[in-house]
Structure 1
Amino acid sequence: MNRVLKLATAIFILTSVHARADATEDCNDATNTTQKIRGCTEVIQRTMQSDALSTAYMNRAIARAERKEMAKALTDFTAAIHADSENNFAYYNRGNVYLDLRKPKQAKADFTRALEIAPDMSPALLNRALANEMLGEREASIADFRAALALEPTLFAASEGLKRLGATPP
């Protein structure tokens, strides 16, 4: 869970009229995972807006992943994707969970989908490179590490990945 999993927490939920404001605040901002899960669950139960629903599922999934509840996190990330199929952060974060579970094939598919939605998402390129590396796909891994560095030249993990694979930076 040391990857950039928390990108989604900065996205604010647009709640329906019926959702309580403090539940939304808890879902967005609580540092206590129990409080965050409770707030997101309330938002999920009360909102109908697909983007708000997707973000609430995603924030709850992040809290569950922090608690090492990976099966529940995967379920929530999948629900976030079903609520909004263009939520690149949901794909990215679900890919991180798959990577943590040593399921690089599934992780690669999610990182690829995140990149289809947001081609300049350097963390997705970096983590897809890691998934490719786990799959033994050296050239694809090198290409992704280089692409990540092209977007973000100071990305240390990408430079280290290239060194590990015996490749030179772009």
Structure 2
Amino acid sequence: MIRHLRAPLAAALLCAAVTMPAWADGNEDNLACYEEFKEGGDERLAIYYCSRAIESGDLADADLITALLNRGVAHKMSGNLKMAVIDYTSALKLSPDDALILANRANAYRELGELDKALSDIDRSLSLAPERAASYYVRGAIYEAQGQGAKAAQDFAKAYELDPENTDYKSKAGAQ
């Protein structure tokens, strides 16, 4: 009797194994993380997928940097600024001259009130990529938080000059 049960059980297990979906690899999870940033995305899901991608060990350095950056952005969007800084710092260990990551970390430091660290990062970001309007905007916000209105106004004006279509830059620059 036991012999007769083994064959159907083995067949059932084989069918179940064949029809079960395969686990996603790190690259698929990295893509799923990015997809969560689209309009209406969920930063908690982005963090989940980015974390799976990072922990998979499947990612090339460039993709790992992207996953860390994206998870940092998701942490920042969810209000967890300290985790955002940790992810940006990890990404910078792999790509120390990345102006975007430096600017993102500067902005997170600014929101944490760590203005000296924020200014150091954003100045370095601007030295690497002086054409990035967003970096001037972040530095303007840092100067504004430090009570340096004239320097803030200069940077807001520069951000607007580089990207006149951006309504935030236009507003901060006082443009009509």
Equivalent of residue 136 in structure 1, options 126, 147, 162: 147
Contact 2:81 2:111 in 1 (8 A): no
User: How many angstroms apart in 1 are the aligned matches of 2:150 and 2:159?
Assistant: 14
Q: Which deviates more, 50-59 or 105-114?
A: 105-114
Equivalent of residue 37 in structure 1, options 47, 59, 84: 47
Q: Which deviates more, 49-58 or 139-148?
A: 139-148
Runs of 4+ in 1 over 6 A off after TM superposition: none
Contact 1:54 1:87 in 2 (8 A): no
Contact 2:53 2:59 in 1 (8 A): no
User: How many angstroms apart in 2 are the aligned matches of 1:76 and 1:94?
Assistant: 9
User: How many angstroms apart in 1 are the aligned matches of 2:171 and 2:26?
Assistant: 46
Equivalent of residue 57 in structure 1, options 65, 68, 71: 68
Structure 2 residue 91 is matched with structure 1 residue 80: yes
User: How many angstroms apart in 1 are the aligned matches of 2:140 and 2:78?
Assistant: 26
Residue identity matched to 2:125: A
Higher share in helix: 2
User: How many angstroms apart in 2 are the aligned matches of 1:47 and 1:91?
Assistant: 25
Structure 2 residue 84 is matched with structure 1 residue 68: no
Equivalent of residue 109 in structure 1, options 120, 128, 134: 120
Q: Could you say if the C-alpha distance between residues 148 and 131 of structure 1 is closer, same or farther in structure 2, counting changes exceeding 3 Å? A: same
Contact 1:74 1:94 in 2 (8 A): yes
Query: Once superposed, what is the RMSD of the aligned Cα atoms?
Result: 2.3
Query: Structure 2: any 5+ residue segments left out of the alignment?
Result: 1-23
TM-score by length of 1: 0.74
User: How many angstroms apart in 2 are the aligned matches of 1:157 and 1:68?
Assistant: 21
Contact 2:26 2:54 in 1 (8 A): no
* C-alpha deviation, 1:21, in angstroms: 4.0
* C-alpha deviation, 1:53, in angstroms: 1.5
Structure whose alpha-carbon radius of gyration is higher = 2
Query: Structure 1: any 5+ residue segments left out of the alignment?
Result: 1-17, 164-168
Residue identity matched to 2:150: E
Q: Which deviates more, 47-56 or 60-69?
A: 47-56
Q: Could you say if the C-alpha distance between residues 21 and 141 of structure 1 is closer, same or farther in structure 2, counting changes exceeding 3 Å? A: closer
Equivalent of residue 103 in structure 2, options 84, 92, 111: 92
User: How many angstroms apart in 1 are the aligned matches of 2:35 and 2:102?
Assistant: 21
| Higher relative contact order, structure no. (Cα contacts within 8 Å, ≥ 6 residues apart) | 1
What is the aligned length?
147
